[in-house]
Structure 1
């Protein structure tokens, strides 16, 4: 029986999609790419994949959940599926971009999408040289392969960068590559995340960044509200928070439209990305800088309930259509 095969490494992020698939009575299979839950007896690349469609939700941040090699394993499985002509949503090209921000920025710039100036470096001395070459402070230091804001820091000076790099508590980037990135000053502490499903724009969400870099919209990733204790929520990448009443961290923007959406759609089509959240920040002059592409996107329930939308339901609807079309093609062959 043909199914929707969901390739992932995190049940907590995938369970809402599974619930949406079950609500539509769509057949599915969960391919958890870690903990011996997929190919428990070994992956045989000479075998034949099952029938159906395959949706990759593999995440660059898998290592932060103990699934260190899940992306690498997936990088072997996706070409096998593609070689057998299976319908793969967020294909091997998409995965390549998911796990490397430098690759993302190169692809975005090639598509005419502006990114913050970013220099990649391996090792302490090269990272310091990159910061000197950038020639401005403050700047952002981040790992090339991260996820959910892991390892992202605002650095005020070269001396501070040296201190960070020399600190034994500083965790080295997973692939050894540091990014030294231009700091974009925004008029407000917020970024915009645009959600695309099936290659089409679904909605944009305003994300309050005043409490740090963890911008994952999944319900299980939400930072608890500040109750006035001394917990450090980290630096806001879009400027200082204004005083006043607390706001929802995620808020869907009604009627959002911008010419950047057409460029995003073209970028996704050229790079095998069909389901994604893509994030940008506006500087004080109103110019857009795109800085992150998430091919393993999540949705915030509270924001969606307030807007009367459901990303997972729309995604399930899209996957159901793709399964039906795949079956029609297979039977006609």
Structure 2
């Protein structure tokens, strides 16, 4: 029987989609990619395949899940299966360098960024960037991995020589100009089927750990409804620049990305910079309940319609 296949490595994140698929009585099967076998001599099952592999899988002990998933997706595409967020989407998920070059190719402005491997080269990159403050981040990241704010080269040297330095999983550290929001927030635009569904305003005053999933909330300091918060950490907003949204939708089409959260920030001069494309996007339940909009429900409906088309076609 044809069904929806979820390709993933994190049950804590996937359970919310599974719940919606069950509510809609849609047949599904979850493929956890921590370990597995991909028989390239066989034929894939019938159905539609949704990839939600994460760049941060190594932080959960799933170091090689993205590599195995990449081969799996190539196999599925070879057999003309319907794949959402396929090989090219995964390629961008695993490399911010590739994200930025793809965004710039679509005339979407990104922060000035220099990539480096090696301690001396990281310092060289920071000196070449020539602006302060600046941030470091991991090229293959997710969850704000490796994001540190520096006001001087000396501060960066101390960090690189200290015990707090995090070696990126792919060895590549990014040095990036720091874009400051006058109100300490970023915006994340959510897309399903390549179409905009809503935007969420994210309070960054507590730091760079911006994962919206309920499983990412570790204590009340990060809670969207914490008693000490003057405003919720995640809040769905009504208005986003429609021209920017059209650019994002075109970018997603050009890069064969079907489901994504795209993060951007606006500085005091009104300039907007796009700095992250998350093809393993998650949603915050408190913000959605308040707004009456539900990302996983929209995703489940999208996958259900795709499965219906696939069933009729076969």
- TM-score, normalised to structure 1, is 0.91
Report the counterpart of residue 305 of structure 2 in structure 1. 321
Shift >3 Å, 4+ stretches: none
Deviation string 1:72-91 (CA, Å, 9 cap, x unpaired) is: 11011000000000000001
For structure 2, list consecutive stretches of 5 or more residues without a partner in the other structure. Answer: 223-227
The 1-side partners of 2:138 and 2:205 are apart by: 21
Q: Decide which of 74, 82, 87 is 2:77's aligned counterpart.
A: 82
- CA shift for structure 1 position 224: 2.3
Q: For residue 28 of structure 2, what is the aligned residue in structure 1? A: 28
Distance 1:173 1:245 in 2: 32
Q: Which residues of 2 match residues 1-333 of structure 1 at below 5 A?
A: 1-34=1-34, 36=35, 39=36, 42-226=37-221, 246-330=230-314
C-alpha distance in structure 2 between counterparts of 1:154 and 1:25, whole Å: 47
Aligned residue pairs, count: 309
Q: CA deviation at 1:45?
A: 1.0
SS in 1 for 2:189: strand
Distance 1:100 1:270 in 2: 17
SS of match in other structure, 2:242: coil
Task: Describe the superposition over 1:270-313 as per-residue Cα deviations: whole angstroms up to 9, x where unpaired.
Answer: 11101000000001011110000000000100000000111111
| Equivalent position of 2:225 in the other structure | none
Write out per-residue CA displacement over residues 146-180 of structure 1, whole angstroms, 9 at most, x where no aligned residue: 11012110011111111111224422111111100
- 1:48 aligned counterpart, secondary structure: coil
Q: TM-score, normalised by structure 2?
A: 0.96
The 10-residue stretch of structure 1 (193-202 or 214-223) with the greater mean CA deviation from structure 2: 214-223
Bigger mean CA deviation after superposition, 164-173 or 13-22 = 164-173
Q: In 1, Cα distance between the equivalents of 2:271 and 2:242?
A: 12
> Helix, strand or coil: the match of 1:58?
coil
Deviations for 1:207-261, whole angstroms, at most 9, x for unmatched residues? 00111111111011124233xxxxxx8xxxxxxxxxx962110000024343110
Query: Counterparts of 1:279 and 1:245 in 2: how far apart (Å)?
Result: 22
RMSD: 1.2
Distance 2:20 2:127 in 1: 49
Structure 1: tracts of 5 or more residues without a match:
227-232, 234-243
Query: What is the alpha-carbon distance in structure 2 between the residues aligned to residue 167 and residue 174 of structure 1?
Result: 18
